[in-house]
Amino acid sequence: MKIGIIVHSQTGHTLLVGEKLQEQLQSDGHEVALIRFQNTETPKGPQKIEDVRLDQVPDATGYDALIFGAWVEAFNLCHGFTLYLQQIPDFATANVSCFLTQQFRFKWMGGSLAMAKMKRLLRAKGAQVNATGIINWSNKKREQQIAELVARFSSQYQP
């Protein structure tokens, strides 16, 4: 199966989760492309979506399945990922999973709201969201959360 992992990552936390997913899926025999995009700069203070500029807009076509990763910004989905979805066409594949990283320890501290928005935006593009996950970066069980997410996501693509 050809799987695209597209992550919006500024600090590298979201990218790290994407890399762990890529490693597992490749070891399971899948062809996996990991693509990172980010804001061209990180403005100080509150930002509006119209102030965001992306370094690239990755192509989400040509995959049998897609996994998207983004981060929680100010208790909501980061503007960069929202802008990305506004700039791409509807999905040719409906087989989509998504995850978020957030600094706070608990998903109710913005992660749940951000995930609801992410799923809503993906569905509006024609995606059927099959699996989701939130990694709480300052949680003591972060590594366990990542391992569980990788196991759950990769189990969807077993023959």
Produce one character per residue of 40-54: b if its CB has 16 or more CB atoms within 10 Å, e if not.
eeeeeeebeeeebeb
- Residue 152 burial (CB count, 10 A): 14
The CATH number covering residue 57 comes to 3.40.50.360
Report helix, strand and coil shares of the chain as percent, to nearest 5: 35, 30, 40
Per-residue pLDDT tens for 122-154?
999 999 999 999 999 888 999 999 999 999 999
CA pseudo-torsion sign 53, 13, 97, 74: negative
CA pseudo-torsion sign 42, 82, 129, 76: positive
Residue 89: which H helix or E strand, with range? Answer: none
Spatial separation of the C-alpha atoms in residues 8 and 14, rounded to whole Å: 7
- Give the number of domains in the chain: 1
Per-residue pLDDT tens for 80-125?
899 999 999 888 777 999 999 998 665 666 688 999 999 999 999 9
Look at 15-19, 36-40, 132-136 and tell me which has the smallest mean pLDDT: 36-40
Per-residue pLDDT tens for 3-13?
999 999 988 99
The residue range of the domain holding 102 is 2-155
| Residue 55 and residue 87 in contact, taking contact as beta carbons nearer than 8 Å | no
